[in-house]
Amino acid sequence: MIATLLAEYPWLARVGIVIVALASPFIAAWLRGRRTLAAALSAVLFVLVAALTLYPTHRVILDRCEVAFDPNDLLAIEPLANILLFLLPVLALAAATGRPVLAFLVGVGGSALIELVQWGIPDIGRSCTVTDWVANVIGAALGAVAAALGIILARQASSRHER
């Protein structure tokens, strides 16, 4: 459903990434003051990521894992969606824990695990690709950086309130 929408309106993915990237530090700053909410949101988003990427399809997979990678492919609709897929869960996890590097590593490891499951269980009708993993890592990095900026913003706001 999301892929169909993005295929019809390809500009939507690009605009969405820009909007989310610009808003993310402020979202992280807001979530930083609500760590329980941030942790719950992160858990829900990671479960949603797993559901979206591991839910069985009716496709027959012939090539179980595509290892070719072309950086130009990252501007296509599906990789842009994969960037967004990991940006928000990592952002929320970093806001909850205050540890953007740890959240980034969880995102990288989670994406690798998803690709391994897609490769190892062909009956779910999903195929792993290096491009998906790289896009997920970029999304995780954007989420971690935005969260780090949000944590700084939250600290600055907190220190102004203490004066």
The number of residues making up the chain comes to 163
What was the pLDDT predicted at 24?
92
Helix intervals (H) in the chain? 2-8, 10-32, 35-54, 77-97, 100-120, 130-162
pTM for the full predicted model? 0.87
User: Cα 111 to the chain's mean position, in Å?
Assistant: 9
pLDDT tier, 121 (very low <50, low <70, confident <90, very high otherwise) = confident
Q: Which domain holds residue 31?
A: 2-162
Of the chain, the percentage scoring pLDDT greater than 90 comes to 48
State pLDDT tens for residues 124-145.
888 888 889 999 999 999 999 9
Dihedral sign from CA coordinates of 100, 16, 68, 4: positive
DSSP structure class, residue 62: S
For residues 128 and 114, what is the distance between their CA atoms, to the nearest angstrom? 8
Of residues 71 and 150, the one with the higher pLDDT is: 150
Dihedral sign from CA coordinates of 28, 146, 13, 79: negative
Enter the tokens of residue 60. Answer: 């027959």
Total structural domains within the chain: 1
pLDDT tier, 122 (very low <50, low <70, confident <90, very high otherwise) = confident
